Amino acid sequence: MSQGALDGIVVADFTRVLAGPYATMMLADMGAEVVKIERPGTGDDTRAWGPPYDDAGTATYFNSVNRNKTSVVLDLASEPGRAEARRLVARADIVVENFRAGTMERLGLGYDDLLDVNPGLIYCSVTGFGSGDGAALPGYDLLVQAVGGLMSITGPEAGTPTKVGVAVVDVLTGLHALAGILAALHHRERTGEGQRVETNLLAALLSSLVNQGSAYLGAGVVPGILGNRHPSIAPYEVFPTKDRPLALAVGNDKQFTRLAETIGAPGLATDPRFGSNPLRVAHRDELREEITSILATAGADYWYDELSRVGVPAGPINDVAEAFEFARRLGLDAVVSVPGSSTPQVGNPLTFSRTPVRYRSAPPPLGGAAD
């Protein structure tokens, strides 16, 4: 069997729901041994987050972020449970936890508490709002999308703030945690020193606002809802066609010229209203009218084929089933089979030439390893 990049690394996973489990599943896919610590009786909250359920009756939400792990049931409110947790940490390289700030410390399982047990430990804490004044706030994705500004720039029109259709803040935070853990591993490899790594949902979201956050900080612009339009690029939005919507993502003048020629309106590229991207942004409503009238003459798939052929970024609005089929047609390994599972899973998006990710086991039953 091929070697994983993190073979031999042991992770004590005290996380539940999404951000933490996503990060630890990525570590597991790369070869780490991940032991998921769960509370008696119910385990991870997402075990009960259904429907939908797979053929075995397991919530598909739980399945999405828990493959390649084993499960251990520990009552951390009891001294025997905490003692067992410390024994597990003693042989671990990494601890990941996403309790409310201060919880692990109250249990005697905080970073400082565990240094005597394991001085080289990498200890990653994921919280909702940090360990300061926001420590007591519950860290749920919808809440963070609301207070973190994301909903204020998302929605069909002004006055209709809308959450993203997946818990994207949890996923982004999990990826930030993963990056921090891997950097800490590299530092330990060079120096032998472990360290504490911290991130939180709000900080990860603010970082991920990128150009929108920079617009506020650098120019005093408070972004608002633009629907599917882009604040700084045009045409970069969704257009109706003869049958279904089409996304156009025209990022430069060369692409715009190709767009104009391909849709049979080369004069758009020389129109003084549309001669540069700033001009197109200033006249986006007129430009939309021009393009919409032309795209209405044919279907989205026709325009996708024609525009893709000349290098203009375009694509129909696929549903989730169509998205997986599109990935299959492109030859991407987006769907994988996992030993011990009767249902497929979404593949890890990373590929390695020497240490490929591996799918060793299905998400575990509570208190055990997958068959």
Instruction: Give the confidence band of 371 by pLDDT, cuts at 50, 70, 90.
Output: low
Ordered domains of the chain (ranges, CATH): 10-208+335-346 (3.40.50.10540), 236-325 (3.30.1540.10)
Q: For this structure, is 170 an active site residue?
A: yes
Which residue's entry shows tokens 């911290």?
A: 198
Say if residue 224's pLDDT is above 60: yes
pLDDT tens track for 301-344: 999 999 999 999 999 999 999 999 999 999 999 999 999 988 89
Element holding 304 (H helix, E strand):
helix 300-309
pLDDT at res. 1:
57
Q: Which is more confidently placed, 138 or 194?
A: 194
pLDDT at res. 50:
92
Tell me whether strands 10-14 and 94-97 are parallel, antiparallel or unpaired.
Answer: parallel
> Which candidate in 7, 170, 305, 319 is catalytic?
170
